[in-house]
């Protein structure tokens, strides 16, 4: 069954301050949607709210994945249902190796008694790491500990490739990457494109979209989508910035102050 992910009228607040003000988006399997916008307009808040971060309170709206109510799920239930977030700032976890973390995460999504065999897991992980040009030694290092920014981003894509989610949300996965690393990361994403998977890519820069061609580009301001189009929209934003959209919509200040 093709994936169908729908957000309707979503509102979310942080410490009582509304950041997401009525967000609507529908994604189907095989599609790549890019969300762009100035700093502070709620893009990362959106990703955290969808995944169920306890700091972000959803006050209105709905989120469904293949007809199931995502908002009624706990964070781990959302992950098991097929939601995945590649984080902008991945956490470091001392004492847990990359391999142990990945195998535990894969098994948590499987039925009891259907755990992935060690041999199969190792073969898959080694193949994906080779595809991402990662040193095999990273499998045995503690999760993200001592990793550079680029290494953390590759590691996030490795997790996505191993977990094979239905909905992959990539929060500024391109930040801090040089052009070679960007191409590798983009190649990993492109290899995952299929009818049973959709992508939501949050980015500031059109350069990522040179390597991951989006089907739809959305501009987010004041906590909601204010304009949508195709790849040509991202190209215009790269050339002209966001002022023309603010003028067109009569938005004086697109920035949202977000509590830390």
pLDDT in tens, the chain (260 residues): 689 999 999 999 999 999 999 999 999 999 999 999 988 889 999 999 999 999 999 999 999 999 999 999 999 999 999 999 998 888 889 999 999 999 999 998 887 778 999 999 999 999 999 999 999 999 999 999 999 888 899 999 999 999 999 999 999 988 878 898 899 999 999 999 999 999 999 998 888 999 999 999 999 999 999 999 999 999 999 999 999 998 988 877 644 444 33
Q: How far from chain centre, in Å, is Cα 126?
A: 23
Cα dihedral sign, 123-95-107-150: negative
Structure tokens at 150: 């680029």
86 class by beta-carbon count within 10 Å (0-12 exposed, 13-18 middle, 19+ buried): buried
The per-residue pLDDT for range 81-132, each reduced to its tens digit, is 999 999 888 888 999 999 999 999 999 888 777 899 999 999 999 999 999 9
Structure tokens at 256: 């949202």
Model confidence, pTM: 0.91
Q: How far from chain centre, in Å, is Cα 97?
A: 23
- What 181-185 contacts at long range (C-beta under 8 Å, 24+ apart), as own/partner pairs, is 181/150, 181/153, 181/154, 182/207, 182/208, 182/211, 183/211, 184/132, 184/133, 184/154, 185/132, 185/153, 185/154, 185/157
Q: Estimate the crossing angle of helix 149-163 against helix 179-190, to 10 degrees.
A: 10
Give the DSSP H or E segment for 124: helix 118-131
CATH superfamily of the 4-91+167-249 domain: P-loop containing nucleotide triphosphate hydrolases (3.40.50.300)
- Please report where in the chains the tokens 């893009």 appear, as a residue: 43
Write down the pLDDT at residue 253: 60
DSSP, residue by residue, 16-76: TEEEEEEEEEEEETT-EEEEE--TTSSHHHHHHHHHT-TTEEEEEEEEEETTEEGGGS-HH
């Amino acid at each position: 069954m093709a994936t169908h992910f729908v957000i309707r009228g979503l509102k979310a607040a942080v410490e009582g301050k509304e950041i997401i003000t009525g967000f609507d988006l529908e994604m189907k399997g095989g599609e790549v949607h890019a969300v762009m916008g100035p700093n502070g307009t709620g893009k990362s808040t959106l990703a955290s709210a969808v995944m169920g971060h306890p700091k972000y309170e959803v006050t209105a709206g709905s989120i469904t994945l293949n007809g199931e109510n995502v908002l009624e799920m706990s964070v781990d239930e959302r992950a098991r249902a097929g939601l995945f977030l590649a984080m902008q700032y991945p956490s470091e976890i001392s004492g847990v190796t990359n391999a142990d973390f990945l195998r535990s995460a894969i098994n948590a999504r499987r039925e009891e008694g259907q755990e992935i065999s060690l041999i199969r897991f190792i073969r898959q992980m080694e193949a994906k790491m080779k595809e991402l040009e990662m040193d095999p030694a990273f499998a045995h290092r503690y999760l993200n500990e001592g990793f550079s920014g680029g290494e953390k981003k590759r590691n996030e894509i490795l997790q996505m490739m191993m977990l094979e989610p239905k909905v992959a949300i990539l929060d500024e996965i391109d930040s801090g990457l040089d052009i070679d690393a960007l191409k590798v990361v983009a190649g990993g994403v492109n290899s995952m494109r299929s009818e049973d998977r959709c992508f939501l890519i949050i980015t500031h820069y059109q350069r990522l979209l040179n390597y991951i061609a989006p089907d739809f580009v959305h501009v987010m301001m004041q906590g909601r989508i204010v304009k949508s189009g195709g790849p040509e929209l991202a190209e215009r934003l790269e050339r002209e910035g966001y002022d023309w959209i603010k003028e067109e919509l009569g938005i004086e200040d697109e920035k949202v102050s977000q509590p830390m």
